[in-house]
Amino acid sequence: MTEGKKGNIKIVEVSPRDGLQNEKEIISLEKKKKLIECLMDTGVQEIEIGSFVSPKWVPQMQDTEQLFLSVLPKDGVKFSALVPNMKGFERLMNLPEKNRPKKIAVFTAASDTFNLKNINCTTEQSFEMIKPVVESAKKEGFEVRGYVSVAFWCPYEKKISPEKTLYVCERLLEMGVDEISVGDTVGRASPLDVYQLLSVITKKIPHNLIALHFHNTYGMALLNSFISFHDFGITTFDSSAGGLGGCPFAPGASGNVATEDLVFMFENSGIETGVNWKKVIEAVSVLEIPLRSTLSKIKNPLEE
């Protein structure tokens, strides 16, 4: 393992948002609140709490305002939320200042078809929708993340070229986003896809502005995370406790890479994350829904 790369993985915990948005049964505000409180004790630095999206489109996220009103971040933890358009930004700004997250995330995709299914507009139209959100958010002092979904594969348009994904990343950066999260929404990226895309985008975009957001449908998310870190120096990874997650508009996609599995892999490779994977399993267990991670299924993990 290369020295100097240790101790610098940042986990962005997305279970309250990506982890839950596709759950059919509405999960109570109390349980979501308990999840977030427990996650804050695991060592994660950033938690995506919810989405100011249309409740008609994603009913599970309709209590996002109430969540922000009922739980505040502890020292050392940053909260964030998805904001699709100015309507969503208005909802965010209607919260008392102390209850607003410090960070927001806008989102688009590298495929028109996926964008039409997910946000009801093409990629070019999405830039028009997002631009005023980024401008207003920056003016109000928010940190802004830009998600690029289906960056490797699209459920509708199949393999996406690295150039197409790079174009969308660059448009978001031109608007002023502080960070790009590159999403394997369908969890279909192979190590070769990761090499191909990251070789292209890291030539143009500094690696410290890039986060990777892997889903684990085809079981390649851990390997892809390790390659992204080891070969491309990426240190920010989105993951979901319990391996929960999925996008309602990406058929066939399964959960995000599980936080506990990701942490276990990095820590057992001598790379610190600052996160306690056992506490992550405890945290997500408050939801009382089936977990999908590898570690949650191992009764007595073999440790030193």
> Is residue 115 close enough to count as binding ligand HMG by CB under 6 A?
no
> Is residue 43 close enough to count as binding ligand HMG by CB under 6 A?
no
The residue from 60, 85, 115, 136 that contacts ligand HMG (CB under 6 A) is 85
Here the tokens at position 146 are 């830009």
Q: Which residues are catalytic?
A: 247
Tell me the residue length of the chain.
304
The residue from 5, 8, 41, 57 that contacts ligand HMG (CB under 6 A) is 57
293-296 own/partner pairs: CB under 8 Å, 24+ apart:
293/241, 293/242, 293/243, 293/258, 293/259, 293/260, 293/261, 294/258, 294/261, 295/258, 295/260, 295/261, 295/264, 296/242, 296/243, 296/258, 296/260
Q: Give the nearer residue to ligand HMG in terms of CB position, either 113 or 276.
A: 113
The interface region with Mg ion, picked from 13-21, 30-38, 40-48, 204-212 by CB under 5 A, is: 13-21
The residue from 165, 185, 293, 296 that contacts ligand HMG (CB under 6 A) is 185
The residue from 44, 119, 271, 286 that contacts ligand HMG (CB under 6 A) is 119
Q: Give the nearer residue to Mg ion in terms of CB position, either 18 or 63.
A: 18
> Is residue 87 close enough to count as binding ligand HMG by CB under 6 A?
yes
The residue from 120, 122, 190, 202 that contacts ligand HMG (CB under 6 A) is 120
Taking alpha carbons only, the member of 52, 162, 33 closest to residue 105 is 52
Kindly determine how many residues on this chain lie close enough to bind Mg ion according to the rule CB under 5 A: 1
CA triplet 154, 131, 207: central angle to 5 degrees?
Answer: 60
> Is residue 18 close enough to count as binding Mg ion by CB under 5 A?
yes
Find residue 47's DSSP bridge partners. 13, 79
> Is residue 48 close enough to count as binding Mg ion by CB under 5 A?
no
The residue from 88, 101, 243, 255 that contacts ligand HMG (CB under 6 A) is 88
User: Residue 48: helix, strand or coil by DSSP?
Assistant: strand
- The rounded radius of gyration (Å) of the Cα atoms in the chain is 18
What beta strand segments (E) does the chain contain? 10-13, 46-51, 78-82, 103-109, 143-149, 153-154, 158-159, 179-184, 210-214, 236-239
> Is residue 183 close enough to count as binding ligand HMG by CB under 6 A?
yes
Find residue 90's DSSP bridge partners. none
Binding region for ligand HMG (CB under 6 A)? 18, 21, 51-54, 57-58, 82, 84-85, 87-88, 91, 107, 118-120, 147, 149, 183, 185, 213, 215, 247, 249
